Amino acid sequence: MKLNTKSRYAVMALADMAVFSSDNAVSLRDISLRQGISLLYLEQIFLRLKKNNIVKSVRGINGGYILVKSPKELKISDILLALDQKVKTIGCKKDSKKSCNGKSTKCITHDFWDELDIHINSFFENKKLSDLLKNREARI
Amino acid sequence: MKLNTKSRYAVMALADMAVFSSDNAVSLRDISLRQGISLLYLEQIFLRLKKNNIVKSVRGINGGYILVKSPKELKISDILLALDQKVKTIGCKKDSKKSCNGKSTKCITHDFWDELDIHINSFFENKKLSDLLKNREARI
DNA sequence: CTAAAACTTGACTATTTTAGTCGGGTATAT
DNA sequence: ATATACCCGACTAAAATAGTCAAGTTTTAG
């Protein structure tokens, strides 16, 4: 059970922005260099972040990206959502009448997986980007 | 971020056993029919469960599998462990000095991912197989 | 005005992982 | 003896992942 790199890099890049913001836009090139993430890959990621209104862009020289919300207000769950990183740990369909393993009833473990999803999602809901920046000595 | 079907089916099958145990061994064939899981796939899963001492087998006619521990004592984390379903949500290597993104320092989000892993793992640690069987009206 | 920096976008691809299947066993109760 | 059920390694098709590539557009410094 692992998070994909897109989500991981997204959180990483946004944390980087929060640290190095200083009012003006942060370029992907800088993030790429500091965090060791491929520039091309970052572009793809930020496209999604922009579409989902996590960041806004400034074009041209000295352009880059700016956080729409402050790190204190930006929930990690918002970031993951922007990248379609659903925390849906298993295949049972939540709502459909004919769910789970093709049978018409809920599978024996159905409620358990639901509980798990809630448990994980609430973690992401309650974490703000600013929380990642606390007690960070080795900031790169 | 999702659990693989092996883990899901393992929990499902063991829950099934807990319900239909009745002292004698439970055959994979029965589990397969009740839970709608391929028999061939179940065999592969139970091989692992046996190796990891979650179940023991009885060969021959009327054979099958028996839970080693009672459902009250069997932690879900034990089951996942048997199937190599590590909850290691990201790629950062936990211990190595040169971790994360090839740099020598911990990445900016490192501690956060560790926290996430702990959060999820503790969920599995604290759940017992017997917990899944409570308030189950639709038992299949 | 123009060149360079930086964002924009869709398409493409190699690799890895997943979710199984297959085939040929071995043990044992009846 | 023979059917039932466990045992086990190898195999494979399909999907997901982790990126790369190409071909732009926009803006601003000089």
Contacts of A6 in chain B (CB under 8 A): none
Contact A112, A89 (CB under 8 A): no
Q: Which amino acid, B96?
A: S
Task: Report the C-alpha dihedral over residues A2, B97, A135, B86, rounded to 10 degrees.
Answer: 20
Contacts of A7 in chain B (CB under 8 A): 1
Residue A71 corresponds to which tokens in the numbers above? 């790190």
- Sign of the alpha-carbon torsion through A131, B114, A120, A14: positive
Q: What is the mean pLDDT of residues A109-115?
A: 92
Of all residues in chain B, the percent with pLDDT exceeding 90 is: 71
Contact partners, residue A30, CB within 8 Å, separation at least 6: A20, A64
B88 touches strand C (CB under 7 A): no
pLDDT of B92: 67
Condensed to tens digits (0 to 9), the pLDDT of residues B79-116 reads: 999 997 777 777 665 444 445 666 656 788 889 999 99
A63 touches strand C (CB under 7 A): yes
Taking the CA of residue A12 and the nearest CA in chain B, the distance in Å comes to: 6
- Sign of the alpha-carbon torsion through B119, B124, B125, B128: positive
Residue B29 corresponds to which tokens in the numbers above? 């064939």
Taking the CA of residue B105 and the nearest CA in chain A, the distance in Å comes to: 7
CB contact under 8 A, A35 and B123: no
Contact A13, A35 (CB under 8 A): yes
Q: Is the CB of B86 inside 8 Å of chain A's CB atoms?
A: yes
* Structural domains for chain A: 5-133 (1.10.10.10)
Q: Which of A87, A108, A127 to mutate to test the interface with B (most CBs of B within 10 A)?
A: A108
Condensed to tens digits (0 to 9), the pLDDT of residues A26-81 reads: 999 999 999 999 999 999 999 999 999 999 999 999 999 999 999 999 999 999 99
Of A90, A119, A135, Cβ closest to residue B8: A90
Phi, psi of B111 (to 5 degrees): -60, -35
> Taking all residues of chain A, what is their mean pLDDT, rounded to a whole number?
87
H helical segments located in chain B: 5-20, 28-35, 39-51, 76-82, 110-126, 129-133
H helical segments located in chain A: 5-20, 28-35, 39-51, 76-82, 110-126, 129-133
Query: For residue B90, which of B100, B105, B79, B98 has the smallest C-alpha distance?
Result: B100
CB contact under 8 A, B105 and A16: no
Q: What is the mean pLDDT of residues B17-28?
A: 91
